[in-house]
Structure 1
Amino acid sequence: MNKRLLIIGPKGSGSRIIAQAVEQTDKPIRKVANLLYNKKTIIVPSQYLESPWMHKHIIALQQEAHQALFLLPIQSMKKSYPPNFAQVFRIPLVGVITYKTDDYSEERVLKAERSLKEIGIKRKHIQVDLTDEKGLLTLEKHLNMK
């Protein structure tokens, strides 16, 4: 079975933009209400994260993934993840603080880093400017993907 990158994030976190970069395609990834399986990625719709009764489905998806990204947009600091949600995952996790150049501030990044710790991601996290093509192209390097 081909293990994929599991991408989890609230509305506006850039999951489709990141998936498009990982998939290395120019074709935009469409927004859907259900799980979206691509060649290298699985995108979890934000509705799954917003509904506590769907969390068990997100957790079960780790069986099909080699790594998971927990996206956290700095422009919306609404608490989207339950505390310590990441603790139940047994695959490598990467916290990804997403932003657009106009939204960036050190204060917002520090808040996002604290939120990642509350979620249970204590070690590895990266920052990705969703408007910077170079940053998106180097994302795979940071994720140790082939």
Structure 2
Amino acid sequence: MNKRLLIIGPKGSGSHIIAQAIEQTDKPIRKVANLLYTKKTIIVPSQYLESPWMHKHIIALQQEAHQALFLLPIQSTKKSYPPNFAQVFRIPIVGVITYKTGNYSEEMVLKAQRSLKEIGIKRRHIQVDLTDKNDLLTVEKYLNMK
């Protein structure tokens, strides 16, 4: 069975943009209300993260994944993940702070890093500009998917 990259994130975090870059396609990945399996990824709909009773389904998906991305939009004011949620996963987790060019301050970066720590991601995290193709390509290199 082909293990995929599990992509989890709240609304507006750029999960489909990152999946499109990992899939190396120019064709947009359509948004659906259900889990979306592509060749290399599993995209979890934001509604799963917003509903506490769906968290067990997200956790179960790690059986089909080799690692997971926890996306966190830098301008987010709402806590989307429960405290220490990443701690229940037994696959490697990478926190990804997402933003669009020039749309953030250093204070916002520090706040996002604190949020990642609350989620349970202590060390492995990166920042990704969703409008920069080179930045998006570095995600795959960082994850050592090639």
TM-score (norm 2): 0.98
Instruction: List structure 1 segments (4+ residues) > 4 angstroms apart after TM superposition.
Output: none
The equivalences for 1:1-146 within 5 A come to: 1-146=1-146
Q: What amino acid does structure 1 have at the position aligned with 2:70?
A: F
- Alpha-carbon distance in 1 for matches of 2:84, 2:91: 15
**How far is 1:10 from its partner?**
0.1
- Alpha-carbon distance in 1 for matches of 2:106, 2:59: 31
Give the paired residue count: 146
Answer whether contact 1:77 1:112 (CA < 8 A) is retained. no
TM-score (norm 1): 0.98
**How far is 1:137 from its partner?**
1.4
Where does structure 2 lack aligned partners over 5 or more consecutive residues? none
Answer whether contact 1:129 1:135 (CA < 8 A) is retained. yes
**How far is 1:92 from its partner?**
0.2
Where does structure 1 lack aligned partners over 5 or more consecutive residues? none
SS in 2 for 1:69: strand
Superposed CA RMSD in Å reads: 0.6
- Alpha-carbon distance in 2 for matches of 1:89, 1:98: 21
Identity of aligned residues (%): 90
**How far is 1:105 from its partner?**
1.3
Output one character per residue of 1:99-146: Cα deviation in whole Å (capped at 9) or x when no partner.
Answer: 001312111010000000000000100000001111011211111111
